[in-house]
Amino acid sequence: MEQLLEKMRKKKRPPYSFARQAGQVIAGNLWGWAVGLAIPEEEIFGYSLEWLNYLIPFAIALGVHTVGNVGRIQGSYSWALLGAFSMIPLKYYGSDTISIAAFISSSVFEAKASQWRRTPSKSVSFTRRMFVYGGCVLLYSSLWSSFLYFNFEVTDSSGETIKFRNAVANFFTSPLFKDFLQTLNNVFSKLWLSGWNESWKHLMDELDPHGERQALNVLGLNEGSTQEEITAQWRKLSREWHPDRYMDPTKKLEAQEKFMEFNAAYENLSLIKTRRSKKNRSFQEL
């Protein structure tokens, strides 16, 4: 406190701090971009919401003002807002207006608004602090939710773009998700009828942790196939898809991939069969 009082006596205004201004620029950028991204690009109920872009300077100024009022320093929001409104004329030049406006806002705040906090801040109850904190989290998360719903797009394998909300809606009606729901339904049905142990066993079988089902599908075999059947099918497919049988480069490459896939499936199944055989022998000896 003595050092702080000495600084206050020597300098009427707080000294410049690069770290503090950098924090103001970062916070102003985060809030400005969050609001800008959250504004729907499409018309809502036939109305354009582009006019909401005028809220971006208020968000930039809020970020600058928040960081600028940390600790023993304080300043007016109006100066930060004045600097943030510089983004409106900058928009006509097509530059990165939010970042530049955040820098200008922080510079104006440091030059005109920054001053010593000479009286301690009033104590605020824990309930009020949590209420304010929760409101800020809710507001910030709602901005990103708006961006994801209205503006965020994903690109499919063919290079076409689709709205994220449509992709999510299509996912919930996709065969993959329906199979997942069916698997969960089977597990819960097993739990209801047979108990926890049988349900866990059924879940492990569905998840296929060892890749046994996948390997059987690759070789075109059913569950319960013997080692002799697995070996015979592997030899048949290996002969059919051996790369040396094909001269066309495209077909040869496809054959190489198939050949490697069959070998990997066969090795995995053989390893699983060997482990089970050893385990069964151990149980018999016991």
- Could you read off the pLDDT of 256-283 as tens digits, one per residue? 999 999 999 999 888 888 887 777 776 6
**Nearest residue to 110 (alpha-carbon basis) of 26, 31, 13:** 13
- In this structure, the answer to whether residues 22 and 110 fall within a common structural domain is yes
Report the residue count for the chain: 286
**Residue 136 belongs to a domain:** no
Q: What is the pLDDT of residue 121?
A: 75
**Residue 184 belongs to a domain:** yes
- In this structure, the answer to whether residues 215 and 255 fall within a common structural domain is yes
**Residue 125 belongs to a domain:** no
| Secondary structure class of 73 (helix, strand, coil) | strand
Q: What is the pLDDT of residue 285?
A: 62
**Integer angstrom CA distances of residue 14 from 7, 92, 113, 220:** 8, 35, 10, 76
- The residue among 207, 223, 253 that closes a domain is 207
- The residue among 104, 120, 136 that closes a domain is 120
Tokens representing residue 36 in the block: 């800008």
- In this structure, the answer to whether residues 10 and 78 fall within a common structural domain is yes
Count the neighbouring beta carbons within 10 Å of the beta carbon of residue 35.
23
Enclosing domain of residue 60: 2-120
28 in Cβ contact with 61 (< 8 Å): yes
**Residue 219 belongs to a domain:** yes
Q: Which amino acid is at 267?
A: E
**Integer angstrom CA distances of residue 169 from 43, 127, 162, 165, 237:** 20, 39, 11, 6, 40
Rounded Cα distance, 199 and 99, in Å: 55
- In this structure, the answer to whether residues 23 and 111 fall within a common structural domain is yes
- In this structure, the answer to whether residues 186 and 233 fall within a common structural domain is no
**Residue 169 belongs to a domain:** no
- In this structure, the answer to whether residues 243 and 258 fall within a common structural domain is yes
Q: How many domains does the chain have?
A: 3
- In this structure, the answer to whether residues 21 and 61 fall within a common structural domain is yes
**Residue 38 belongs to a domain:** yes
Cα-based torsion angle of the residue sequence 157, 163, 87, 99 in order, rounded to the nearest 10 degrees: -50
DSSP H helices, the chain, are: 2-10, 18-38, 56-68, 77-84, 87-90, 97-108, 126-150, 164-172, 175-194, 196-207, 212-219, 227-240, 249-285
**Nearest residue to 109 (alpha-carbon basis) of 53, 71, 67:** 67
**Residue 138 belongs to a domain:** no
CATH number of residue 233's parent domain: 1.10.287.110
- In this structure, the answer to whether residues 201 and 228 fall within a common structural domain is no
- In this structure, the answer to whether residues 99 and 203 fall within a common structural domain is no
- In this structure, the answer to whether residues 278 and 229 fall within a common structural domain is yes
- In this structure, the answer to whether residues 193 and 246 fall within a common structural domain is no
Query: What would you report as the CA-atom Rg of the chain, rounded to the nearest whole angstrom?
Result: 33
Q: Which amino acid is at 20?
A: R
- In this structure, the answer to whether residues 244 and 196 fall within a common structural domain is no
**Residue 83 belongs to a domain:** yes
pLDDT tens digit at each of 286 positions of the chain: 777 777 777 778 888 889 999 999 999 999 999 999 999 988 888 889 888 989 999 999 999 999 999 888 889 999 999 999 988 887 776 656 899 999 999 999 999 998 888 777 788 899 999 999 999 999 999 999 999 999 998 887 777 888 888 888 888 888 888 888 887 887 788 778 777 777 777 677 777 777 888 888 999 988 888 889 999 999 999 999 998 988 888 888 999 999 999 999 999 888 888 887 777 776 666 5
Rounded Cα distance, 15 and 13, in Å: 6
